[in-house]
Structures are given as structure tokens and as C-alpha cells.
Amino acid sequence: MSKILENLKYAKSHEWIKVEGNIAYVGITDFAQHSLGSIVYVEAGNEGDQVEQFVAFGAVESVKAASDILSPISGTILEVNQEVIDSPELLNENPYDHYLIKVEITNEEELMNLLDAVGYAEVAK
């Protein structure tokens, strides 16, 4: 059973999003880190990049697999979490404590396309 937090929203592709006003923090879920195994490398775009909902902006790699990371929201990347880039294993330790990017949201209505914890629990079986 993978861990799912109540107060977050989720994308089907196993990313989580925490919204604070018009700023969002984006990361990967417990299900994602568990499926991948020990994460060895993370690519999360650059400050200033435009991201689009459900479009890949980066990738996460383990020894056995590589997966694109899709943004759950459209906007501009304000910050890339360098800590995770430097120590990818943090994502295995606690995927919800370590975001990948901080985004300035351009269209709040897009949040309606995302799942809540209950909805995501169906996907992350």
C-alpha cells in the first residue's frame, strides 16, 4: 500500500502538487518512487522554463527504469530543488518532503483536471 497524503492533489502519472495561492510545489508520489526502485538521477528542467499540464518537463532514473515527469499544472518554473538534484535518494526516503520544482501557476482552473487523495488511491493500486 503506497502512502498518499490527504491535503495534496495528484496526476494519474504519479506526480503530486501542493498549492499555496498561485504557487505550486510539484513532486513524485510514493507509488512512483517505489516502482522505480533506488533513484539515481533526476532532471527537473531549469528556472524560467515554461511547463504545461500533463507534458513532460523532466525525467527520473533508477538503475532499472527511467520515467518522464509530467507537470500537473501549467506555469513557469520559479525554482528547481537543487537538494534533490544533488541527492536523488531523498525521493526514495520521503517523496512528499522533497519537491522537484516550484511553479507559478498560470491557470488555476486546470486544478480541476487533477485527482484528490481518494481518486488517486484508485490509480495507485
Amino acid at 6: E
Q: State how far the Cα of 72 lies from the Cα of 52, in Å rounded to an integer.
A: 8
Taking the complex as a whole, the smallest distance from the CB of residue 39 to other proteins amounts, in Å, to: 9
**Cα–chain-centroid distance for residue 38?**
17
Q: Which residues are within 8 A (CB) of 31 and not within 5 positions of it... i.e. 6 or more apart?
A: 2, 14, 124
Taking the complex as a whole, the smallest distance from the CB of residue 62 to other proteins amounts, in Å, to: 7
Amino acid at 83: E
Taking the complex as a whole, the smallest distance from the CB of residue 87 to other proteins amounts, in Å, to: 9
Of 66 and 78, the one with the shorter C-beta distance to other proteins is 66
Q: State how far the Cα of 75 lies from the Cα of 108, in Å rounded to an integer.
A: 10
Q: Which residues form the interface with other proteins (CB under 8 A)? A: 38, 40-41, 43, 61-66, 68, 88-89
Q: Which residues are within 8 A (CB) of 37 and not within 5 positions of it... i.e. 6 or more apart?
A: 62, 63, 64, 65
Of 65 and 78, the one with the shorter C-beta distance to other proteins is 65
Of 22 and 38, the one with the shorter C-beta distance to other proteins is 38
Of 89 and 116, the one with the shorter C-beta distance to other proteins is 89
Taking the complex as a whole, the smallest distance from the CB of residue 11 to other proteins amounts, in Å, to: 18
